[in-house]
Amino acid sequence: MIERAGTNAGMGTTVDRPPAPGAARSRRRLVAGVGTLAVLLVVAAALSLAVGARALSLAEVWHGLFGTPDADQRLSEFALIVRTVRVPRTVLAIVAGVALGAGGALIQGLTRNPIADTGLLGVNAGASFAVVTVIVLFGLANPVQYVWFAFLGAGAAGVVVFGLASLGNGAGSPLTLALAGQGVAVFLAAMTTAISLTDQASLNALRFWNAGSVAGVGFDVIWPVTVFIAAGLVLALATLPAVNLLNLGDDVARGLGVNIALSRTVGVVAITVLAGAATAACGPIAFLGLMVAHVARYLTGPDYRWLVPYAGLLGAVVLLACDVAGRVVTRPGELPAGVVVALAGAPFFAVLVWRGRFRSA
Amino acid sequence: MSGTAVRRTVTPGIRLGGASFVWRPWLLGVTLLLAAAVFLVFCLSVGVGDFPIGLPQVIATIFGRGERVDEFVIMDLRMPRALAGLVVGVALGVSGAITQSVARNPLASPDVLGVTGGAGAVSVFLVTASGGTAAAITGSVGLPAAALAGGLGTGLLVYLMAWRRGIEGLRLVLIGISVSAVMEAIITWLLVTADIRDVARAQAWLIGSLDSRTWDEVSAALWCALPLLAAVAYLAFPLRPMHFGDQVAAGLGGGAAGGDAPGAARDTAAGGLRADRCAAADRRGPGGPHGAAGLPSGRRGHRRDRRPVPRLPAGTGEPQAGGLTAISKVSLT
């Protein structure tokens, strides 16, 4: 902050302020928090590689990951499980968790609304609608086939929402954006249901799609999704300083030199790409973004430059942990990660809310 | 204000005994117009169908001077459906307005209070489960009553969980969202594991329909809704300062928790009512208040004359939401 000298009678001296003693400490704490979350992420990833219908020890996981293919029969069995099943779903859980967590925090910042979730911009509804539509039109049966249609649907919904929100008197206000998103989402959900009720194949696919799972997707899908999410993260991080200022109100932000329309547009594009790519690969995972955004805000305070990365890491840890838990609780079956996120996360979140840990966005 | 250079237009008040009102012609006019629109759409809804009846005949029949055929079709077949739409629409619209006022959040809608999710989870369980318990419940109390109990129970749970020396808007909504998320997850899981034919039936219930309502159901809904609507009309005034937050509301003499408790309870009841009558005719809630707020009499008018107390949109939301639902019903018919 620059303190200006001599402009005001009341405070007319130059103040060369030393950094506040608390600032360095809190920064150290924030960095330590990132380290802790990273450690948690590694632990959760290790668990995710080891736990499942066929439990593996960490040594077996290690062999499976790095063992040479010309070893004995048993080693190649580990390798098969780890490389074709466990690694893809672990990577997808991390990538999607980061995307949904960061997206959830960013949408709360952009709309200045503490109950905004990544589905708010119609992304989930657009993806579901696209899935149902292509099943009815082209008779696709394999989830891998409709991943890209889902992504297209999510993107199209995001574009429509943003276009609607840019029209009329309330153009560009956070509230208009949120309401346009909600309207489009409800409309698309109604269309999705109407279609799925007339076509049993799409209803059948829709119920599994809606559960939200990180399993069963290969690297042919995961790598492109990761590229999109990485691009979305770059956009999201670039817009964070502006989001901080936008939360002071549009007038203040404009006075401080923020290009409001540009930063909002970049933010909305980032959220659409993040949530759209994650939803396309996993199906809709509700509640994760909202929950980790609040927990991250409690840990970091209102500075979005810390809040969004924290939320991303937390999202990855929570989604991984929920996926692992889903493999254990209903052996030999599995609970989809999206169901576990709500069943396990929501009560925990409600307790934190009750204890008064959270403030509004 | 005499003697100063500032001229203020003073809104005239009307005093009737102990009660006083502010004379707001714009608000009154819009409300009357909306009421007329509700009546018109209601008549259209009764008239449109496989056996079309013209508007004049519909109005004549409603006032008891129609032909016998028309009377049978209207009073016995179509009226319950139209009335159900009206009652449910009003209940949803008012619930939405109250939820948004209490939560002070324009994205809040009655379904975040857990009622919709609870009713949905119970009914999906009853539809999809093949076990003896489910069949026994469905056989003894019936699906709608069980769903109503589930909705009200969940709403009560949310309210109790959110209670901490009073109710605070954001806390209530966040806990409601959490509980709703749990209920949605249960629904998802039940649907994933169920037989596909049951899934279609459960899905049809979750969408909500006004089809084949009977007079019994309509009168039950009316008897639930009327006292609650009266309570809302009475409580709407103390609810107003809550827009400013709990501290200011308390300072202005409205006990925040006191104002909240009946409001939330009423929300819950209205939501449950709708869950019973109309299945989960979802998310018409938020449409009402926003439409109402967008009317010239609503938020925009308020901004123009800079009145310090925002008004609860229930006054306009009510007939308007009724109209909305009637319209959507007509389009469904």
- Domain-wise residue ranges, chain A: 48-354
Q: When comparing pLDDT for A226 and B145, which is higher? A: A226
| Cα A111 from Cα A250, distance rounded (Å) | 12
> Which parts of chain A register pLDDT below 50?
1-12, 361
- H/E stretch holding B15 reads strand B13-16
| Cα A272 from Cα A121, distance rounded (Å) | 7
* Nearest neighbour of A350 by CB, restricted to B108, B178, B186: B178
In chain A, positions 62-121, which contact chain B (CB-CB < 8 Å)?
Answer: 111, 113-116, 120
Q: What pLDDT, on a 0 to 100 scale, did the predictor assign at position B112?
A: 81
**Residue B6 binned pLDDT confidence (cut-offs 50, 70, 90):** low
Q: What pLDDT, on a 0 to 100 scale, did the predictor assign at position A54?
A: 78
CB contact under 8 A, B178 and A286: no
pTM of the model: 0.79
For the structural domain made of A48-354, what CATH number should be given? 1.10.3470.10
Mutate to test the interface with B, among A285, A353, A359 (most CBs of B within 10 A): A353
| CB pairs A-B closer than 8 Å | 108
ipTM over the 0.85 cut-off: no
* Nearest neighbour of A290 by CB, restricted to B177, B199, B203: B177
What secondary structure does DSSP assign to B160-211, as a single string? HHH-SSS--HHHHHHHHHHHHHHHHHHHHHHHHHS-HHHHHHHHHHHH---T
B167 touches chain A (CB under 8 A): no
Q: What pLDDT, on a 0 to 100 scale, did the predictor assign at position A320?
A: 95
Mutate to test the interface with A, among B99, B100, B109, B182 (most CBs of A within 10 A): B182
CA angle B85–B88–B90, rounded 5-degree value: 105
Q: When comparing pLDDT for B220 and B253, which is higher? A: B220
CA angle B256–B257–B262, rounded 5-degree value: 110
CB contact under 8 A, A211 and B192: yes
Give residue B83's identity as a one-letter amino acid code. Answer: L
DSSP helix/strand/coil, A208: helix
Residues of chain A found within 8 Å of residue B196, distances taken between Cβ atoms: 200, 203-204
| Cα B91 from Cα B148, distance rounded (Å) | 15
Q: Which residue of A has its CA nearest to B332?
A: A194
| Cα B36 from Cα A179, distance rounded (Å) | 28
Most confident option among A12-16, B108-112, B150-154: B150-154
Which homologous superfamily does the CATH classification assign to the domain defined by B25-332? ABC transporter involved in vitamin B12 uptake, BtuC (1.10.3470.10)
Q: What pLDDT, on a 0 to 100 scale, did the predictor assign at position B331?
A: 43
Q: Give burial (CB, 10 Å; 0-12/13-18/19+) of A23.
A: exposed
Q: What is the dihedral of CA B36, B37, B41, B43, to 10 degrees?
A: 10
Mutate to test the interface with A, among B105, B163, B178, B183 (most CBs of A within 10 A): B178
Q: What pLDDT, on a 0 to 100 scale, did the predictor assign at position B159?
A: 86
Mean pLDDT, rounded, for B127-153? 77
**Residue B101 binned pLDDT confidence (cut-offs 50, 70, 90):** confident
Three-state SS for A104-171 is HHHHHHHHCCCCCCHHHHCHHHHHHHHHHHHHHHHCCCCHHHHHHHHHHHHHHHHHHHHHHHCCCCCC
Q: How far apart are the first and last CA of chain B?
A: 57
CB contact under 8 A, A350 and B181: no
Residues of chain B found within 8 Å of residue A335, distances taken between Cβ atoms: 189
Q: What pLDDT, on a 0 to 100 scale, did the predictor assign at position B269?
A: 46
In the predicted structure, residue B2 carries a pLDDT above the cut 60:
no
Cα of B20 to nearest chain A Cα, Å = 34
* Nearest neighbour of B196 by CB, restricted to A193, A204, A345: A204
Q: What pLDDT, on a 0 to 100 scale, did the predictor assign at position A69?
A: 62
Do the Cβ atoms of B174 and A346 come closer than 8 Å? Answer: no
Q: Which residue of B has its CA nearest to A113?
A: B105
Give residue A358's identity as a one-letter amino acid code. Answer: F
Q: Residue B15 pairs with which residues in a beta bridge?
A: B20
Do the Cβ atoms of B86 and B103 come closer than 8 Å? Answer: no
Mean pLDDT, rounded, for B134-149? 76
Q: What pLDDT, on a 0 to 100 scale, did the predictor assign at position A230?
A: 96
Alpha helices by DSSP H, B240-286:
246-251, 256-278
CB contact under 8 A, A113 and B108: no
A343 touches chain B (CB under 8 A): yes
Q: What pLDDT, on a 0 to 100 scale, did the predictor assign at position B282?
A: 34
**Residue B107 binned pLDDT confidence (cut-offs 50, 70, 90):** confident
CB contact under 8 A, A200 and B182: no
Q: What pLDDT, on a 0 to 100 scale, did the predictor assign at position A68?
A: 67
| Cα A298 from Cα A301, distance rounded (Å) | 6
